[in-house]
Amino acid sequence: MRLPSVRLLAAGLGTAIVAIVLVAGLLAPWITPYDPFITNLDARMIPPSFMEGGRPENFLGTDQLGRDYFSRLIYGARISMLIGIATVITSGLIGITLGVLGGFFGGRVDDAVMFAITCRLSIPLILVALAVVGLVGSSLNVVVLTLGLLLWDRFAVVARSTTMQVRNLDYVAAAWAAGCSQAHILLREVLPNIIHHLVIVATLEMALAILLEAALSFLGLGVPPPLPSWGLMIAEAKEYMFFSPWVIMVPGISLFVLVLGINFMGDGLRDMLGAQRDV
């Protein structure tokens, strides 16, 4: 706390990274120099232009099928951001609903919610996600839905504990006294007062979803080729990594920087919104 400037700097940097990746993903068709799917077998595995043997047309070189690596990277940003945001929306809806209900009503409802959270935590995350994608077939929608259905636990835990704190506060009692409906109290009194905690959870879950999608795609059971997911790019480049390490460094470092940026942004939000407790 004694060094606010460092924290502020990290938060600003994180937000900038996320913003850049988001914009790059959105504008991918307009800012990429080449089509990310067009192969060119005469120009395979060309190193980035700043390395020996590189050429200026392909800033980050080309992959094993001669596709422009920079264009694939930008389209990959699109997939990562899409997975991150869509997963957070799905898992957020499930987790927040469960957590708020459990925290607000307590008793049997809360027991059921706690049981659901315990079960979810016991299920091996990656294996089950792999199994679902493997059995249902891999597509972007399946990955989003699978991750969304699995990553709601932290939302539920935080929504539950924060709801417990606000449900006994005066303004909730006042709303009861004024004759407000249960739905009104939950949506208008409780939710707005716990939302800042949930925003921080959302950043953590978004980072986790992006890492998991990359891991699933790396294991061949995530986003199907030829889509340029960063995890898939690493998997496809694996055979060549001993001779040209840059092929795994380009998507790997991108993934690392994006996740780091999201985490820094989350830390910044935590400071800004005054949620001091560790969530």
19 CB-near residues (< 8 Å, 6+ apart): none
Length of the chain equals 279
Please tell me the distance from the alpha carbon of residue 219 to that of residue 56, in angstroms, as a whole number.
33
Give the interface segment with other proteins, choosing from 84-92, 159-167, 170-178, 256-264 (CB under 8 A). 256-264
Residue 139 sits in the site that holds other proteins (CB under 8 A): no
Residue of the chain from 101, 221, 265, 269 that contacts other proteins (CB under 8 A): 221
108 binds other proteins (CB under 8 A): no
Q: Does 77 participate in binding other proteins (rule CB under 8 A)?
A: no
Does 132 interact with other proteins (rule: CB under 8 A)? yes
Which CB sits closer to other proteins, 24 or 262? 262
DSSP label at residue 68: B
Q: Is 53 exposed, middle or buried (0-12, 13-18, 19+ CB in 10 A)?
A: exposed
274 binds other proteins (CB under 8 A): no
In 3D, which of 146, 72, 150, 160 has the Cα closest to residue 114?
160
- Dist. CA 239–CA 6, nearest whole Å: 40
Q: What one-character-per-residue DSSP string does 9-63 give?
A: HHHHHHHHHHHHHHHHHHTHHHH-SS-TT---TTS-SPPPTTSTT--TT-TT-B-
Structure tokens at 203: 């950043």
Cβ proximity to other proteins, 188 vs 277, nearer residue = 277
Q: Please name the amino acid found at residue 181.
A: S
Please report whether residue 238 would count as binding other proteins according to CB under 8 A. Answer: yes
Pick between residue 172 and residue 223 the one whose CB is nearest to other proteins: 223
Contact region with other proteins (CB under 8 A), list: 34-42, 92-100, 126-134, 176-184:
126-134
Binds other proteins (CB under 8 A): choice among 200, 207, 227, 232:
207
- Interface residues toward other proteins, by CB under 8 A: 1-3, 6, 10, 115, 118-119, 121-128, 130-132, 134-136, 207, 211, 214-215, 218-221, 231, 234, 238, 241-242, 245, 248-249, 251-252, 255-256, 259-260, 263-264, 267, 278
